A and B are shown apart, each in its own frame.
Chain A
Amino acid sequence: MSEADELDFEELFDDTDREPPSRSARLKRTLDLTVLAPLRIAIHDWRAVVAGTILLLYGLMGTVGVWLATKPSSGDHPKLQGPFQELAYPLGTDLYGRSILDQIIYATPDMFRMIFAGAIVAVGVAAVVGLLSGFMRGTPVDAVLMMLADIIITIPGLPLIIVITAIFQPTNPYIVGVFLGIDMWPGLARTVRSQVLSIREESYVEASQIMGLPTSSILRRDVAGQLMPFILVNASLTSRRVIFESVSLYFLGILPFTTYNWGVLMNLAYQENALTRSELLPWLVFPMITIILMSFAFVLLSQAMDAIFNVRLQARHAETIDDKEMTE
């Protein structure tokens, strides 16, 4: 065994004797590894740039946009004006004289709330259930949790959500998001579980166990770190599903029309036979474009994140990892 190898070996286990790095240095290192390195890669990944730009625009639309736009109400403007004619209603107006752009803008904040709640519930529950179940493999806890997941996987999502919303009629966007998340966690939880099972077999986790580290810190340090990218990628895909399903519920007219939503616009336009009346077409088409573009950004983002969180790629872009560690 060469001297260099021994040195590495000591460094690895010598945590207690060594002077710990100062707080600011540690903070800097954490920041560099978890935020800056991914960002540096992201800038070179066109998908991340495009997705980031689009989502930033939607974010602005949901915050500054709402502040700039006027709350749309019937009779604001002349009825059924075409798009790109007047600055007061750049995308035209609907059958009731409301600006289509203003309605699209006013629907944005609630959409973000739904996505937020839905993604938190779906990914959060999936991570907790998957981790628990994976670490307690073969115990009754594992069996019960997986059975629960299997049952929910079996119930077709949209009918389930339709029945629940029909009975409880939620108006709060966060609650709608939570309802939508209910049907999305089980598949993810199963995947997290199988990931945990395969990570458990890895030698470094086994080493931690032999060294007598408590299960909780193994979970936190070894497994959760590995699962983070996976969870982020799926949070992005879940966001897309929340958009799809919430809009479809509004489009079907099942959720109460108390808020603005792109699906509400589509529903009203479609009910008025917008497909055969060309003057109504903008009312239907612009919300559709809004939905597709936002979903596109989330799908791109998930693809980009898959690449960004690739550990090897990340190490090349981190400044606080020196070359000795790199060549490892």
Chain B
Amino acid sequence: MHPRYVLKRTGQMVLTFFVTVTFTFALYQAMPGGPAEAMRAMILAESGQVGGSVNLDLLNQMVEHYANVNPDKPLHVQYYNYLHSLLIQGDMGTSIYQGEPVLDLILQSVPWTMFIGVYALALGYTVSLFLGAVMAYKERSLFDSVASIGVIFLNSVPYYIFAIILVYVLGIEYSVFPINGRYGTFVDPGFTLEYMSSVVRHATLPVVSMGILATGGALTMRGNAIRVLGDDYVRVAELRGLRRSRVAMQYVGRNSVLPLYTQFMIGIAGVLSSTVVVEEIFAYNGMGKLLYDAVLLHDYPVLMGTLLVFTTITLLAIYIADLTYGYIDPRISTGDSNE
């Protein structure tokens, strides 16, 4: 791969990260009445000083303690301090409600969100790719039309409604899967079979409900595969007498999946988005739930921290996708602006 492209792409990533950090800083400043006013009630309630006169200096100090933003200082100093504490000290602020560093809270929940997120992506795309491929092979058959309508219908069901239906049918009516928490209440965390199976069982319904997001890929896959099927090299491969499975996998499959690769990695942004609603429905303590609770409590430092981490994860995923694409699809000369 071209070193210049890697350099350019890395620069782009770093820049995007800085813009996002700046954006969260700007959001603090854009709060009605400024960050001190917006967090005042919350901070006072937590520090037990309801009513009475408020020492403004003390309040500003506390805002700085929680959010790394001191409203007393000039804007550029605030911005410098904000960047400094975030990037050099790794300090994302402190949760007003829980009193713990935001970074700690996030580190505790990130693995769980990534766990269900990655499996949702894997499941959703595997199913939709296979479905799309089969639909393409049986183009214009009954199966194709029924599956197409099915996929269109699934696309019209919001994932959270799907989650609610799953909770009702598989969780409540038939009690096949647990419907809240990350693992059973009476299960001790550890490398035991009981714990592992409990984790998997608790993750099943969230994973399936988020996986539904990826089903739109089936129609794209179908379109790609139909186009590839009409190409000469597929006909040549068939005429050469290659095994059908080999033609299907190496010629048709590979060439119709490749254009979707980057789209998949961007899909992680969608899956991370959906964790906010899905984790709330399943009372699954991950990043999404952390963000949701922070909104209800007006816990702004946690809110900004989770937004930042969500973005960073997506940023890395797309970065990796872009850099590896050249290896996966040798036809693409990376760095061409004519995509």
Main secondary structure of the interface of A (DSSP, over half): helix
Q: Is the CB of A137 within 8 A of B337?
A: yes
Q: Which residue of A lies closest to B287 (CB)?
A: A159
B208: interface (CB < 8 Å): no
A98: interface (CB < 8 Å): no
Q: Is the CB of B156 within 8 A of A292?
A: yes
Q: Is the CB of B161 within 8 A of A296?
A: no
* Chain A residues touching B, range: 35 or more
Cα–Cα distance between A187 and B216 once the two chains are bound (Å)? 16
Q: Which residue of A lies closest to B339 (CB)?
A: A194
One of B156, B274, B307 near A155 (C-beta < 8 A): B307
Q: Is the CB of A158 within 8 A of B276?
A: yes
Q: Is the CB of A168 within 8 A of B32?
A: yes
Cα–Cα distance between A243 and B161 once the two chains are bound (Å)? 12
Q: Which residue of A lies closest to B338 (CB)?
A: A197
**B16-47 toward A: CB 8 Å interface, digit per residue (1/0)?**
10011001000100111000001000000000
Instruction: Identify which of A74-82, A250-258, A313-321 touches chain B.
Output: A250-258
Q: Is the CB of B158 within 8 A of A295?
A: yes
Q: B157 contacts which chain A residues (CB < 8 A)?
A: 292, 295
B273: interface (CB < 8 Å): yes
B296: interface (CB < 8 Å): yes
**A166-186 toward B: CB 8 Å interface, digit per residue (1/0)?**
111000000000000000000
**B72-86 toward A: CB 8 Å interface, digit per residue (1/0)?**
000000000000000
With A154-B311, A167-B31, A275-B167 known to touch, is A159 a contact of B273 (CB < 8 Å)? yes
- Give chain A interface residues in 285-322, CB to chain B under 8 Å: 288, 291-293, 295-296, 298-300, 303
Q: Is the CB of B31 within 8 A of A296?
A: no
A226: interface (CB < 8 Å): no
Q: B153 contacts which chain A residues (CB < 8 A)?
A: 296
Q: Is the CB of B277 within 8 A of A156?
A: no
A138: interface (CB < 8 Å): yes
- Give chain A interface residues in 215-236, CB to chain B under 8 Å: none
Cα–Cα distance between A147 and B16 once the two chains are bound (Å)? 8
Cα–Cα distance between A147 and B20 once the two chains are bound (Å)? 12
Q: Is the CB of B269 within 8 A of A248?
A: no
For residue A193, give the distance in angstroms from its CB to the closest CB of chain B: 9
Q: Which residue of A lies closest to B18 (CB)?
A: A151
Q: Is the CB of A270 within 8 A of B152?
A: no
One of A151, A194, A270, A276 near B20 (C-beta < 8 A): A151
B198: interface (CB < 8 Å): no
One of B155, B164, B269, B318 near A157 (C-beta < 8 A): B269
Q: Is the CB of A153 within 8 A of B269?
A: yes
Q: Is the CB of A154 within 8 A of B16?
A: yes
A284: interface (CB < 8 Å): yes
Q: A284 contacts which chain B residues (CB < 8 A)?
A: 164
One of A187, A194, A248, A275 near B158 (C-beta < 8 A): A248
Cα–Cα distance between A155 and B158 once the two chains are bound (Å)? 21
With A138-B337, A155-B311, A275-B167 known to touch, is A252 a contact of B156 (CB < 8 Å)? no
Q: Is the CB of A150 within 8 A of B16?
A: yes
Q: B30 contacts which chain A residues (CB < 8 A)?
A: 167
Q: A147 contacts which chain B residues (CB < 8 A)?
A: 12, 15-16
With A150-B12, A247-B158, A288-B161 known to touch, is A166 a contact of B303 (CB < 8 Å)? yes
Q: Is the CB of B20 within 8 A of A158?
A: no
A163: interface (CB < 8 Å): yes
**B259-283 toward A: CB 8 Å interface, digit per residue (1/0)?**
0000000100110111011001000
A162: interface (CB < 8 Å): yes
- Give chain B interface residues in 285-339, CB to chain A under 8 Å: 288, 291-292, 295-296, 298, 300, 303-304, 306-307, 310-311, 314-315, 318, 337-339
A199: interface (CB < 8 Å): no
Q: Which residue of B lies closest to A287 (CB)?
A: B161
With A248-B277, A251-B160 known to touch, is A156 a contact of B152 (CB < 8 Å)? no
Q: Is the CB of A151 within 8 A of B16?
A: yes
A160: interface (CB < 8 Å): yes
Q: Is the CB of B152 within 8 A of A155?
A: no
Q: Which residue of B lies closest to A240 (CB)?
A: B156
Cα–Cα distance between A244 and B155 once the two chains are bound (Å)? 11
Cα–Cα distance between A288 and B161 once the two chains are bound (Å)? 7
B56: interface (CB < 8 Å): no
Q: Is the CB of B27 within 8 A of A291?
A: no
Binding site for B on A (CB under 8 A): 137-138, 147, 150-151, 153-160, 162-164, 166-168, 187, 194, 197, 240, 243-244, 247-248, 251-254, 266, 270, 275-276, 284, 288, 291-293, 295-296, 298-300, 303
Question: What 6 new A-B contacts, CB under 8 Å, besides A151-B20, A240-B156?
Answer: A151-B19, A154-B315, A155-B314, A156-B311, A275-B164, A291-B161
Those 4 A-B pairs whose CB atoms lie nearest each other, nearest first: A158-B273, A296-B156, A295-B156, A156-B273
